[in-house]
Amino acid sequence: MALDGNLTTDLLAEIAQSPLFARADLRIAPASPGKAARLRPLLRHPRATFYVNAEEAGILTGTRPGDAAHAAQAMIDAGARRVLVTAGADPAIDLCAAQRHGAAPPPVAARRITGAGDTFMAAHIAAELAGAGRAEALTRAVAAAAAYVSGEMP
């Protein structure tokens, strides 16, 4: 189930505590930095995967991470089970307690930014559903987001 910060704080808190969602595979994105703090109740959800950029991770954790790796670690330290963090042209990180994977996006000229996170998340979920391992799914998501940012992908 994909959730984002456009839902109300009360509804997100209810989902975080509900036994109906305890075993759900939650894929969570803030929708924007301004809505990131709404997701705090879900940080400790046992099956949540967060898709955030470094700024959003900082908002969620009350930190100022310098890069995706530090942002991902701050999310894990704050209770997240698994997090994927992007940082523009810098390497993206997929981190959980047991594994860490990184993938650098190919260099592209940025023609658009809005929608890159959604493209990243969708490509990552699609890759995992198709059976890709964690490293491969991250690589595919980074490539899709780069293609989108460059304008090569509609």
What is the dihedral sign for C-alpha 133, 115, 17, 23?
Answer: negative
Q: Are 115 and 123 in contact (CB under 8 A)?
A: no
Three-state DSSP class for 139? Answer: helix
Looking at the predicted structure, is the pLDDT value of residue 35 above 90? yes
Phi and psi, residue 82, nearest 5°: -150, 140
Q: Dump pLDDT digits (tens) for 93-133.
A: 999 988 999 999 999 999 998 999 999 999 999 999 999 99
User: Which residue type is seen at 146?
Assistant: A
Q: What is the pLDDT of residue 97?
A: 85
Q: What is the pLDDT of residues 64-96, one digit of tens each?
A: 998 999 999 999 999 999 999 999 999 999 999
Strand pairing of 100-103 and 90-96? antiparallel
Give the CATH number of the domain where residue 43 resides.
3.40.1190.20
Q: Is the pLDDT of residue 154 over 70?
A: no
Range of the domain at 110: 2-150
Q: What is the pLDDT, as a whole number, of residue 134?
A: 96
**Is the pTM of the predicted complex or chain greater than 0.85?**
yes
Q: Write b or e for each residue in 119-144: b if 16 or more Cβ atoms lie within 10 A of its Cβ, otherwise e.
A: bbbbbbbebbeeebebeebbbbbbbb
Residues 6+ apart with CB under 8 A from 2: 27, 28, 29, 121, 125
Q: Which residue has the tokens 């969570």?
A: 28
Q: Which pLDDT belongs to residue 31?
A: 87
Total domains present in the chain? 1
Running DSSP on this structure, what letter comes out for residue 102? E
